[in-house]
Amino acid sequence: MKGIRVGIIKKPVFSFAKIYYIFPVIFIAALILFSSCTKQSEFDLGKDFVDSQTRLKIIDTFRVDLSTIIQDSLRTSGTDVALVGEYSDDIFGSIRSETYFDLGFSNFQNIEDKAFYDSAAFILRYNGYSIGDTLSPVSLKLHALTEKISKGSNAYLYNVRSFKYNSQPISTVEFYPEPHSKTDTIVSFKVDELGLDLFNKIRDGDENVTSEEWFMDYLKGFVVTSGSSENNAIIGFDASENKIELKIYYHLRLEEPEKKEITIAMGASGNQFNHIDSDFSGTLLNSIKSSGNKKMASETEYKSYMQGLTGLITKVQFPTLQDIFLDNNWKILKAELVLEPVRYSFEKFPLPQKLYIYQSDTINWLNSVLKDEKGYSISQLVDEDRNALTAFFSLDEILGDDTRYTFDITSYLTREMRRKYFNSKRGLHIGLSTDGYTSTFDRILFEGKKPPVKLRLYYLSY
Amino acid sequence: MGYLRKFAVFLLVFLGIQSVTALAQSTSSPYSMFGLGVLESSSAGPNMAMGGTGIGFMSEKSVNYMNPASYNGIDSLVSFFEVGIFGKYTSFSTKKESQALFNSNLRHVLMGFRVTPWMAASFGFSPYSSIGYKINTISSIEGSNQQYVKTFSGDGGVNQVYLGASVRPVKNLSLGVNAAYLFGNVTHAESSDIYSFYLEDITYISNFDFNFGLNYRFVFDKTRLNVGLIYGSSKKLKTQNVTTIQTVNEVETLRKRSYKYEIPQNIGIGIAYSKNFFSAGIDFERSSWENVQFSNNYIHTRNSNRYSFGLEIPSLGVNRGTTRMKLFRIGGELRESYITIDDTPLNYKALTLGAGIPLNGWLSVVNVALELGQAGSLKNGLLRENFVNLHLDLSFKDWWFVKKRYN
């Protein structure tokens, strides 16, 4: 490389030949730009000549067998809800609910020498839930248990479980329920005798209140029951931690009297549960338990019953769906299950917004909350994101004609039918969430005839 | 000219990739849904501007692969490398409505050169037919009063790569043959976004195809008259069909359909006249599609004729007769459609204008052709296409690859 470069200034020479190069370059550049974005345009024109190989059809005439099944039992412990009262109507029968709980032991505070006992009460707080007639007074009773609440080998307590209690209540209360009150309204059972006994024991340092074992033996637990057959409401109370309490009130006899109290909170949440007695006698569901936990809708005026805590689940089966395989060239694109509540059946019980759908498991999960009529576990259908599949709910408030629940069961059905065989015995179960089943009496009466439950298949034949 | 060389190489690579991936969609016409799609013209760059007239012309100014006998016109001092592209604006209309679109693509890549003093050869790549459409229809769901949008789409096409040679057994007579390999696919699909299905019907197509050509030259003083003949026999194409249906969570291959695809017997005659750098030509070509049936109930095939004429006029002035001479071209073409719908022909009529602009450099000639035309029909509720098609053919002489061979 030489160190010095000599710059030569070229005079620009105008030339036609050079100008010509510009055109192809511009043209090609334009083509490249255009060609990348206008490959295929969508047309409406030309639709008259297309030769279609596919036909999209709807069929909703597959037979749907509707029935009601009932759970043998439902776990109700640890739900943070205490449900008490009774309710009955001609359709779903009568329900009575009692709630069991015990008290938690703690090292009680020392009671001063100048303390004088005043009173004691169990405090219950509304949780906002209720069914039935809340305009009439409700009467409840509090009983002391004569045996300890024990779960035995099982981790849960069930709606069929009960423990012995003294038939003589230690307290009764009658009140106008205000379950929807915004303030921290309470219902209190006066238990002055029990309170005095406890007060004395605590003051004296009795071993019944200094040792947990002795304490649990001394106060085995309590049950709140419906206090009158006149009750036609079930009220929900908050049974989460520290919300059910026993308060002992006393004062110190000083020159200026000082009010004091001892609070004993509810014990382990797992020991609190609701016992439900349901009685279907006089309804169409009478004898459901003795008939294999299942009643076909044809036996119940073509209706199916669904309710939490009593454990009623609506079941659908598709006995003729297998026939679809008689024809080969089709694909299911969409499958919907459409259920309508019986008209005027949901005036007192607002329809649940969320409804779930369950399939029978291929493996019987012992831990499953819900089971089919044969005792096999059922589990929720899920969508692509593994979230529980819920129904699309439309409420026709004006005419009531278009009130319905629609489940998109496309992925379930296409999966089930992949092997060109459909097991019609298994069926699908429609109901509340598991929480809904263990802590609410939410219910729906489904129509099975006018109109029937529909399985609506959108399928492509080719 | 370094930059131009680089640009040319870039362009070729780009177009090469394009040709593989996107050539399939060079047509966007609803009529491409029938048969093998819309047939592409096989006229060379200069001939494009002359109404596609080329059967009688020799490959003097560019590679005229319409008639393989023409390669003998390639001068021993010249080698051609040509890239043709086009951009087409089409307005589609029925009696009620109209829509427009623009599409563009590669038209051909050709090489032509003299191998020995007695033989010239050519090879190249060009589309034979192409398919590209997308049509939305409102379809009803049977068993309900609901409707949904069903989309019909198609793409694919048949391409050819050929190797051709031409010899002169006796004075003034040239004979030639093109051995082409046809390959590609015809793909039709039906789909719906809302109900998530996609039915795709792909037919893969391939076979060898031979085309023969003859050219005889009559020389009268300064006047030359060339008569060209071309012939190609009908050919069944090998097909392999795959139909798949795709739904949300399933893909299934359905029965294999059997579609028959065939290319027809093709004969053509053309006369080219030239004197003092002025040329003129006429073509007549007949394709016997009548014997070819497609499995679509709407359409019928028929024998289709092509008529065309073209003139080439040299620029006046000092450049006349030199390598700087510009050539202006004009022509017209009528191509009868090979299909009819409800007995309605869908003929293709076009007027062409163009020029050949010589450049003193590595890129030797730019041939531009503007084609104004019409295809289809408004009768019987059919579609008419009015189009403006701009063809650009870049002819590179002494391409480095060929040059090396000669050094």
Last residue within a domain, chosen from A277, A302, A335: A277
The residue in chain B having the minimum alpha-carbon distance to the alpha carbon of residue A41 is: B134
* Same domain, yes or no: A215 and A319: no
Contacts of A113 (CB under 8 A, 6+ apart): none
* Nearest by CB: A39 against B25, B137, B247: B25
**pLDDT mean over A256-268:** 91
The residue in chain A having the minimum alpha-carbon distance to the alpha carbon of residue B98 is: A45
End-to-end Cα spacing for chain A: 76
Verify whether the Cβ–Cβ distance A24 to B33 is below 8 Å.
Answer: no
The residue in chain A having the minimum alpha-carbon distance to the alpha carbon of residue B251 is: A331
Collect all residues of chain A within an 8 Å Cβ-Cβ radius of residue B153.
40
Question: Residue B24's pLDDT is what?
Answer: 37
Q: In Å, how far are A160, A241, A308, A309, A391 from A74, measured between CA atoms?
A: 8, 22, 9, 7, 23
Q: Could you give the 3-state DSSP secondary structure of residue A234? A: strand
Collect all residues of chain B within an 8 Å Cβ-Cβ radius of residue A31.
85, 87, 104, 392
**Å between A454 CA and nearest CA of chain B:** 14
* Same domain, yes or no: A145 and A183: yes
B180 or A4: which carries more pLDDT confidence?
A: B180
Q: Which of A340, A254, A267 has its CA nearest to residue A105?
A: A267
* Nearest by CB: A58 against B136, B144, B155: B144
Question: Residue A26's pLDDT is what?
Answer: 57
**Å between A10 CA and nearest CA of chain B:** 16
Residue A42 lies in a domain: no
Contact indicator for A143, A222 with CB cutoff of 8 Å: yes
What are the structural domains of chain B?
2-406 (2.40.160.60)
Contact indicator for A453, A64 with CB cutoff of 8 Å: yes
CA atoms within 13 A on the CB side of B353: 4
Question: Residue A21's pLDDT is what?
Answer: 54
Q: Which of A18, A25, A54, A59 to mutate to test the interface with B (most CBs of B within 10 A)?
A: A54
| Model confidence at A11: pLDDT above 80 | no
Q: Please report the DSSP string for B146-198 in residue order.
A: -EEEEEEEEEEEEEEEEEEEEEEEETTEEEEEEEEEEEEEEEEEEEETTTTEE
State which H helix or E strand residue B375 sits in. Answer: strand B363-376
Cis upstream peptide for B68 (omega within 30°): no
Sheet containing A404-408, strands listed edge to edge, beginning at the edge strand earlier in sequence: A55-59, A454-461, A330-339, A404-408, A392-394
Collect all residues of chain B within an 8 Å Cβ-Cβ radius of residue A44.
97, 99, 135-137
Q: Which of B19, B23, B150 to mutate to test the interface with A (most CBs of A within 10 A)?
A: B150
Residue A176 lies in a domain: yes
* Same domain, yes or no: A218 and A336: no
Verify whether the Cβ–Cβ distance A24 to B363 is below 8 Å.
Answer: yes
Question: Residue A31's pLDDT is what?
Answer: 53
Verify whether the Cβ–Cβ distance B22 to A54 is below 8 Å.
Answer: no
d(CA B26, CA B44): 18
Question: Residue B206's pLDDT is what?
Answer: 93
Verify whether the Cβ–Cβ distance A462 to B99 is below 8 Å.
Answer: no
Last residue within a domain, chosen from A233, A251, A277: A277
Verify whether the Cβ–Cβ distance B298 to A53 is below 8 Å.
Answer: no
Contact indicator for A177, A183 with CB cutoff of 8 Å: no
Contacts of A462 (CB under 8 A, 6+ apart): A53, A54, A55, A329, A330, A331, B199, B245, B254
Q: In Å, how far are A139, A171, A199, B282 from A119, measured between CA atoms?
A: 21, 13, 10, 121
Contacts of A292 (CB under 8 A, 6+ apart): A373
- The full 3-state SS of B131-147, as one line of letters, equals EEEEEEEEEECECCCCE
* Same domain, yes or no: A224 and A263: yes
Q: In Å, how far are A101, A212, A218, A266, A269 from A105, measured between CA atoms?
A: 13, 6, 11, 9, 13
Q: Which of B107, B2, B8 has its CA nearest to residue B368?
A: B107
* Same domain, yes or no: A414 and A347: yes
Measured on CA atoms in the order B357, B362, B363, B364, is the torsion positive or negative?
A: positive
| Model confidence at A4: pLDDT above 50 | no
d(CA B375, CA B31): 10
Q: Count A/B contacts: CB-CB distance under 8 Å.
A: 170
**pLDDT mean over A82-91:** 93
Range B126-149 burial, b when 16+ CB lie within 10 A, else e: bbbbbbbbbbbbebeeebeeeeee
Q: What are the pLDDT digits (tens) for B172-186?
A: 999 999 999 999 999
Verify whether the Cβ–Cβ distance A27 to B392 is below 8 Å.
Answer: yes
Residue A283 lies in a domain: no
Q: What share of chain B is helix, strand, coil (3-state, %, to 5)?
A: 10, 60, 30
Question: Residue A30's pLDDT is what?
Answer: 53
**Å between A280 CA and nearest CA of chain B:** 41
Verify whether the Cβ–Cβ distance A28 to B392 is below 8 Å.
Answer: yes
* Nearest by CB: B141 against A35, A44, A58: A58
A20 or B274: which carries more pLDDT confidence?
A: B274
Last residue within a domain, chosen from A277, A306, A334: A277
Verify whether the Cβ–Cβ distance A51 to B297 is below 8 Å.
Answer: yes
Which residue stretches of chain B have pLDDT < 70?
Answer: 1-27, 295-296, 360-363, 398-407
Contact indicator for B362, B2 with CB cutoff of 8 Å: no
Contact indicator for A393, A338 with CB cutoff of 8 Å: no
A220 or A35: which carries more pLDDT confidence?
A: A220
* Same domain, yes or no: A96 and A233: yes
Question: Residue B84's pLDDT is what?
Answer: 87
Verify whether the Cβ–Cβ distance B14 to A32 is below 8 Å.
Answer: yes
| Model confidence at A267: pLDDT above 50 | yes
Q: At what angle do helices A16-35 and B2-21 cross, to 10 degrees?
A: 30
* Same domain, yes or no: A428 and A312: yes
The residue in chain B having the minimum alpha-carbon distance to the alpha carbon of residue A50 is: B152
* Nearest by CB: B199 against A34, A53, A332: A53
* Same domain, yes or no: A416 and A270: no
Verify whether the Cβ–Cβ distance B199 to A462 is below 8 Å.
Answer: yes
Number of helical H runs and strand E runs in chain A: 6, 24
Domain count, chain A: 2
Find the length of chain A. Answer: 462
The residue in chain A having the minimum alpha-carbon distance to the alpha carbon of residue B257 is: A53
Query: How many other CB atoms are found less than 10 A from the CB of residue B245?
Result: 22
Question: Residue B116's pLDDT is what?
Answer: 87
**Å between B123 CA and nearest CA of chain A:** 23
> Which of A72-81, A249-258, B285-294 holds the top average pLDDT?
A72-81
Structure tokens at A333: 């694109």
Question: Residue A13's pLDDT is what?
Answer: 44
Contacts of B19 (CB under 8 A, 6+ apart): B106, B109, B125, B159
Collect all residues of chain B within an 8 Å Cβ-Cβ radius of residue A54.
150, 190, 197, 199
CATH number at A370 reads 2.60.120
**Å between A81 CA and nearest CA of chain B:** 42
Q: Which of B247, B380, B383 to mutate to test the interface with A (most CBs of A within 10 A)?
A: B247
Collect all residues of chain B within an 8 Å Cβ-Cβ radius of residue A40.
25, 28, 132-134, 153, 155
Structure tokens at B256: 């294999």
Verify whether the Cβ–Cβ distance B104 to A20 is below 8 Å.
Answer: no
Collect all residues of chain A within an 8 Å Cβ-Cβ radius of residue B11.
28
The pLDDT confidence band at residue A3, using thresholds 50, 70 and 90, is: very low
**Å between B193 CA and nearest CA of chain A:** 11
Contacts of B326 (CB under 8 A, 6+ apart): B314, B315, B319, B355, B356, B357, B358
Range A360-379 burial, b when 16+ CB lie within 10 A, else e: beeeeeeeebbbbbeeebbb
Question: Residue A122's pLDDT is what?
Answer: 94
The residue in chain A having the minimum alpha-carbon distance to the alpha carbon of residue B197 is: A333
Residue A37 lies in a domain: no
**Å between A416 CA and nearest CA of chain B:** 12
Verify whether the Cβ–Cβ distance A44 to B33 is below 8 Å.
Answer: no
Verify whether the Cβ–Cβ distance A30 to B199 is below 8 Å.
Answer: no
d(CA A440, CA A309): 6
Question: Residue B295's pLDDT is what?
Answer: 66
Beta bridge partners of B325: none
Q: Which of A16, A18, A35 to mutate to test the interface with B (most CBs of B within 10 A)?
A: A35
Question: Residue A40's pLDDT is what?
Answer: 47
Question: Residue A273's pLDDT is what?
Answer: 95
Range A421-444 burial, b when 16+ CB lie within 10 A, else e: ebeeebbbbbbbbbebbbbbbbbb
* Nearest by CB: A40 against B134, B392, B394: B134
| Model confidence at A149: pLDDT above 60 | yes
Q: Which of A51, A55, A60 to mutate to test the interface with B (most CBs of B within 10 A)?
A: A51
Question: Residue A58's pLDDT is what?
Answer: 92
Q: Which of A44, A327, A336, A417 to mutate to test the interface with B (most CBs of B within 10 A)?
A: A44
Collect all residues of chain B within an 8 Å Cβ-Cβ radius of residue A50.
33, 135, 137, 152
Residue A164 lies in a domain: yes
User: Alpha helix locations (H) across A83-141?
Assistant: none
* Same domain, yes or no: A273 and A302: no
The pLDDT confidence band at residue A301, using thresholds 50, 70 and 90, is: very high
Verify whether the Cβ–Cβ distance B190 to A53 is below 8 Å.
Answer: yes
* Same domain, yes or no: A171 and A305: no
Verify whether the Cβ–Cβ distance A21 to B153 is below 8 Å.
Answer: no
d(CA A306, CA A371): 14
Parent domain of A192: 81-277
Beta bridge partners of B100: B91
* Same domain, yes or no: A143 and A87: yes
The residue in chain B having the minimum alpha-carbon distance to the alpha carbon of residue A412 is: B249
**pLDDT mean over A126-143:** 92
Verify whether the Cβ–Cβ distance A20 to B357 is below 8 Å.
Answer: yes
d(CA B141, CA A57): 5
Residue A36 lies in a domain: no
Residue A47 lies in a domain: no
* Nearest by CB: A47 against B103, B135, B366: B135
* Same domain, yes or no: A202 and A257: yes
